[in-house]
Amino acid sequence: MSRCLPSLSSVVCLVFACNGDGETARAHQDADTTGVVPSPRSGFALTFDGRRETIVLFGGSDSANVRLGDTWEWDGMRWLARDITGPSPRSDAQITFDSRRGIIVLFGGITPDGRVGDTWEYDGTAWKQVAIDGPRARSLGAMAFDPGRGRAVLTGGSGPERERLGDTWEWDGERWHLASDEGPAARGAHAMAYDARMERVVLYGGYDGTSTLSDLWRWDGTAWQPVDGGGAPPRLHLALDYDSRRNRLVAFGGFGESGRVGDTWEWDGGSWRQVGTEGPAERAEHEGVFVPSMGFVIFGGIVGQGMAVSERVKVNDLWVWNGMAWAQLSGGSGSPGRS
């Protein structure tokens, strides 16, 4: 039976029009595509606040490579700039949503003064710094929340001397605990998500200083175990999250073995499969989150193949993948970086 899914402000019925045979068509344009939107950027922090059904974006690096400290929210129809004080401007921070407490947790990143190791929480009204002790300062790590254990799990990244890290830490809402020094090879620019089917936090890809990785790991709260990825493509700086509606990981874009890519992959617990041949432009240093009423949503990043700072084009477009097709929700401007 064809139906429109329940939605953030009924946005899915705006983004994908349901037709008689259950397929989806490209959206009509009722979502706000002309209003105020975040500036083009890369390396920002993005997560989905399940309590308020809102996508939250913080910081990143703009087209002039200036680090940002702004907070934005997407409510399913439009972007809202939040005029609040929070963490210092930074890029490549680690972020996740603590679904038990209804709080967003942000750790570290790189500021104009270097990498930091502070911990912040955001309740939808205000940011609050909650810890300065814990993991070493880092950027380009990954963090995901384990709802079964009530812990935010942080792994890897790039340390103050740009060394790759391989430690795993957990935040219980009050303090950090070093959980393991063993597991996946030290790396940065990888991605993590909570796989509800396995009831485990999973880690995918990244860069170990020599190679772009394609390995998949799961964390049980005590140790990491490798998972047979079944044909996973090597990736770093990708977007990844778990589609709880269809019970699979969804990954888009990133750096492959020969440059930025624009492909979509899904992992069903046994093997990876490439899906959706049309959609957002090839990109890396973007982010993605799964919104239950919409699908897998990605924002921004660096598009094309320009590698020099002056050639990097950053964008601010917002797209959603519903399992069958991509549709653009907002934005689309971009400009090259400046050295």
pLDDT in tens, 171-222: 999 999 999 999 999 999 999 999 999 999 999 999 999 999 999 999 999 9
Q: What is the pLDDT of residue 230?
A: 80
**What pLDDT does residue 292 have?**
97
- pLDDT tens-place string over residues 245-266: 999 999 999 999 899 999 999 9
Sign of CA dihedral 283, 90, 250, 243: negative
Tell me the C-alpha distance between 243 and 206, whole Å. 21
- Would you put residue 310 in left (φ > 0), alpha (ψ -120 to 50) or beta? alpha
Token readout for 231 is 């044909």
Buried b (16+ CB within 10 A) or exposed e, 250-262: bbbbbbbeeebbb
Are 163 and 146 in contact by the 8 Å Cβ rule? The answer is: no
pTM over 0.85: yes
**How far is it, in rounded angstroms, from Cα 77 to Cα 339?**
35
Say how far apart CA 79 and CA 47 lie, in whole Å: 14
pLDDT, residue 232, reads 87
pLDDT at 22: 36
Low-confidence ranges of the chain (pLDDT < 70): 1-35, 333-339
Contacts of 231 (CB under 8 A, 6+ apart): 271, 272, 273
